[in-house]
A and B are shown apart, each in its own frame.
Chain A
Amino acid sequence: MKSLFMKHQGALLLIFSLLLTAILASSSPAQQLVELPIPKLNKVVIKLQFRNGSICDPKGKEGLTYATANLITQGGTKELSYSEIQDKIYPWAAGYGALVDKEVTTFTFQVPAEVLDQFYPILKGLLLEPAFAENDFHRIMKQQQNYVDQVIRASSDEEYSKKALEDFLFRGTNYQHMVQGTSEDVKNISLDDIKMQYKNFFTRNNLTIGIAGNYSPKFLASLKADMAKLSNVTPVIPPPGKAKMPDGVNVEIIAKEGAFGSAIFTGTPLAVTRSDNDFAALMVANSYLGEHRKSYGVLYNKIRETRSMNYGDYSYIEWYQNGGGYMLPPPGVPRHSNYFSIWIRPVQIAVQLQQQYPELKNISIGHAQFALRLAVREVEKIIHDGISPEAFEATRTFLRSYIKLYVATPSDQLGYLMDSKFYGRTDYIKEMDHLLAKLTVKDVNNAVKKYWRVNNMDITIVTDTSEAEPLAKSLKENLPSPMSYSNAVKAGLPKSVLEEDELIAAYNLRVKHVTIIDSKETFK
């Protein structure tokens, strides 16, 4: 809670819900349409979502979909260079970009309503006649190569451990690699590859058009007619990779020179998505355990608030885009392959604790193992005991209000409606609200028993090189990990916490394999 820096905060629910109704229609069997007319809005938001993502990257060219989308948005058209486009849209403050995920790629354009007609030829040119210029290609590929070579390893250990978990959990499948690709494979991507990917995967046959704001029927007719001129190839989309059920509990420790703490992610395959009605039951259980960036969750309460171990601890039943940045989940990342995960933000390592507190000079590992034991033990308790009727009611009440905040802006509302179609729903937020209303505590506890587990799990820990070996040994040998508080904190803790600590320190994580990987060797 209480982040230091201002972040995007989605705001509110159904701002325009009384004014308008989303119109969901299908303009042709291939071309899907989601409309959200808001005549009083001063802008228009257009989203073009292609049912193709990084799972469509050919083997050996991982990162190709990402490169293709980026070259479209950061390149020119047949008429205008990238630079000329930027000159033209500069005074309007119009903007656009692409979000590439595993299974969809979404282009979002935002423009003042007054200049929509002047802006439109640019949109049309980018999608229908992208320049794919050599010079732009070199520029964007340098950026992409740099991301996979350096940025992912060097800028946020939390994001690093999250991406590393997907690499671990989905190993051997088309879900394994980052959407940006891998160090080796990005080098193999050519301009011709991008042209082919564009022709074969960004087509009229896998497109959903979304539009929100102040636009005319005439404009929409043009947009639909023009997007029907996209390639008529029917893309061959490979089935999304499924995580193999982990054989026991397996840990990959990524040893990184100079890491200041241990950043942890755990994951286990989850059979349900937003398509399933059971998802609502799991939403309640998950929110109770670890609602994203909220102080209400059990994990947050026990790890951060009571024991002061880190900045926050949360759990997830689906992919959460840029959790370090967003307080509310953004649209545009729908997936068929889900997993249940726990995010433990960086906890202290032994070297740091030894330097900070004389009373801890003899410890051999930091707080990672204790934090992991605590988190997994809490999940096991919920699986075994369920959540109480009171906790169920409070959490359900919270969620029924809170999920409406996901669609606070016209852009997010449009995005959620488009994602709803991916899951075979019409309006996910409204439908979840209805499902939540009908839910019972028994439904929640049954769903938890059915879908959550602690015995088959992959775990990634990004930590300092000094911590890797002792932590690996302690995990492998199931050694006790008594919590190493500073004297100042320990003196004020209630007896009940210290007693619980003893149980946690001895909790058996049932770790089967532990591997240490040099940071330089990840994402190869």
Chain B
Amino acid sequence: MKTFLLSALLVFAAATAQTQSKILPYPIYQKTLSNGLNIVTVPFDSPGLAAFFVVVRVGSRNEVEKGVTGFAHFFEHMMFRGTEKYSSEQYNNILKSVGANANANTSLDRTIYHMTGDAAKLETMFELESDRFMHLKYSEADFKTEAGAVKGEYTKNFASPYQQLYENMVNTAFTTHTYKHTTMGFFKDIVDMPNQYQYSLEFFNRYYRPEYSTVVIVGDVKPEQTNALAEKYFGNWKRGTYVSHVPVEPVQDSTRYVHLQNNSIPPSLSLNYKGPAFSDSALDIPSLDILTTILFSNISPLYKKLVLQEQKVRSLYGGATDSRDPDLISIEASLIKKDDLQYVKDEIVKAIEQVKRNGVDEKSLAETKMRLRNSFAMSIDNPSTIANALAHYIYLTGDPESLNRSYALLDKVTIDDIKSAAKKYFVPSSLTIATISADAEGGVK
């Protein structure tokens, strides 16, 4: 049975390898304008449809000054507040006429503005987006008003105890680096946002610049067409001068603890180890991706033991975060009983230690590489998903080809690489343990 499965796998792997030397089976066309703005075009067979994304490499990571956490996200909101040419209402009216699915979102390292719609309206998309990126204009009154919407967003998120724990966890795991605060920011800073109008102008001046931005267009488009439109609408965008200096996180020297007392949800355990920064040339991140998939997915011995057989755990997840600076490798478990918190932690650590000693088996390694590739290959069935995937690597490295390089790197990972990554990153001194239970203290050692 096993032999049959393995040979079937090999046939499938060969078929996959033949058809996909690069994980993205479409060429990526890039053109950098003289002001530094990169234009990325991927023609895709989606008649009449196009996704138009602007990726700005600014996120809560850049919030280095005290008292202005959450500002990258707040600024994303302000980008919908109008320009010299179009008021907010006019902008909305034109956007509505495009009939697109348009929105924006912010995270640690980036802000993404996206719209997907009628490819025939591509020029309108360029016109609308270039206008607000180059000529944003809002009143102080509008600025103060928008701060309330951000507070409303925090209010809805805060209903989740997991969100509350996450906020406390990052605040504990990091002492210096800006990953210490969530993208929403500290609540006291959110309440104070209406008083930061001047800073908002400075923020726009610093970061909403061509050298921080990339335009991505995927779908029923041609690179000649998108490049010409980019030149026409973004060609006059002025390059900036600001360079962001993000403080380096000192090496953590002992395990840290965070606990939330809450009896309204199941007990929860989160183990957070300090991990590496993203790279498309070093093997650490792909090794950790494979390792955490092998250790914590629903085929792992640990999952089978804790979730399926003993049924002490409801769900198990683990993975490293792709971030520009060293971030966390997190393992999350939702439990049935709080009395098992220590046991579950010990079992997770035991599984990690086993990999440090013995590595993983060849079959698991081969199957996991195949799984990660297949999962991606099946997901890219529409322009938005492809644009999102490119945006991910653009904010990490600035280069969309990182997508192809990262999956190629995945194939190079060996058992020794996985052992090395496990030994290097899963150490008690870099760990932050976060728990939720009905007890006043977490009690997990």
Contacts and interface: CB of A to CB of B under 8 A. Distances in A.
Interface string A90-128: 111100000000000000001010110010000000000
B148 interface: yes
Nearest to A6: B105
Interface stretch (B30-38, B136-144, B398-406, B425-433): B136-144
A364 interface: no
A348 B103 contact: no
Interface string B257-295: 000001011100000000000000000000000000000
Contacts of B194: 486, 488-489
B97 interface: yes
Interface in B116-173: 116-118, 139-142, 144-149, 151-153, 155-162
Nearest to B51: A11
Interface residues of B, number: 94
Interface stretch (B245-253, B322-330, B352-360, B368-376): B368-376
A142 B336 contact: yes
A295 interface: yes
Interface in A385-424: 394-395, 397-402, 405, 408-411
Interface stretch (B231-239, B377-385, B408-416): B377-385
Contacts of A142: 311, 314, 336
Given A4-B183, A155-B162, A261 B156 contact: yes
Contact of B383 (A4, A11, A143): A11
Contact of B97 (A118, A138, A394, A489): A394
Contacts of B99: 397-402
A125 to B, nearest CB: 15
B304 A91 contact: no
B144 A150 contact: no
Interface string A127-153: 000000001001100110010001101
Given A14-B47, A405-B116, A153 B264 contact: yes
Nearest to A405: B101
A346 B47 contact: no
Nearest to A5: B105
A25 interface: no
B156 A9 contact: no
B107 A2 contact: no
Contacts of B189: none
Given A12-B383, A261-B155, A492 B141 contact: yes
A155 B194 CA distance: 29
Interface in B297-333: 297-299, 304, 307-309, 311, 314
A307 B383 contact: no
Contact of A139 (B48, B80, B308): B308
Contact of B155 (A139, A260, A493): A260
Contact of A82 (B104, B152, B266, B308): B308
Nearest to A486: B194
Nearest to B111: A2
Contacts of B375: 93
Given A400-B99, A486-B194, A13 B48 contact: yes
B381 A13 contact: no
A304 B92 CA distance: 14
B68 interface: no
B216 interface: no
Nearest to A113: B378
Interface size class of A (residues with CB under 8 A): 35 or more
Contact of A346 (B12, B152, B336): B152
Interface stretch (A191-199, A275-283, A308-316, A440-448): A308-316
B197 to A, nearest CB: 10
Contacts of B73: 4
Contact of B378 (A5, A6, A42, A488): A42
B191 interface: yes
A260 B160 CA distance: 10
A40 B8 CA distance: 22
B145 A307 contact: yes
B101 A156 contact: no
A311 B153 contact: yes
A274 interface: no
B435 to A, nearest CB: 16
Interface in A73-96: 82-83, 86-88, 90-93
A3 interface: yes
A352 B148 CA distance: 13
A212 to B, nearest CB: 10
A154 interface: yes
B175 interface: no
Given A2-B76, A42-B377, A489 B144 contact: yes
A12 B378 contact: no
Interface string A1-31: 1111111011111111111000000000000
Interface string B12-41: 100110000000000000000000000000
A260 B148 contact: no
Contacts of B161: 154-155
Interface string A500-517: 000000000000000000
A408 B105 contact: no
Interface in A431-480: none
A328 interface: yes
A293 B103 contact: yes
A118 B9 CA distance: 11
B420 interface: no
A12 B219 contact: yes
A322 interface: no
B88 interface: yes
B384 A12 contact: yes
Contacts of A397: 96-97, 99
A158 B158 CA distance: 11
B117 A405 contact: yes
14 contacts: A6-B388, A12-B50, A15-B382, A83-B299, A112-B374, A139-B311, A156-B159, A307-B148, A310-B155, A347-B155, A405-B116, A409-B381, A489-B144, A489-B194
Interface of B: 5, 8-9, 12, 15-16, 45-51, 73, 76-77, 80, 88, 92-93, 95-101, 103-107, 112, 114, 116-118, 139-142, 144-149, 151-153, 155-162, 183-184, 191, 194-195, 219, 262, 264-266, 297-299, 304, 307-309, 311, 314, 336, 366-368, 370-372, 374-375, 377-378, 381-385, 388
Interface of A: 1-7, 9-19, 40-43, 82-83, 86-88, 90-93, 110, 112, 114-115, 118, 135, 138-139, 142-143, 146, 150-151, 153-158, 259-261, 263, 293-296, 304-312, 327-328, 345-348, 352, 356, 394-395, 397-402, 405, 408-411, 486, 488-489, 491-493
* The 10 nearest A-B residue pairs measured at CB: A401-B99, A492-B141, A308-B148, A11-B384, A12-B49, A310-B152, A11-B382, A93-B374, A91-B367, A93-B375
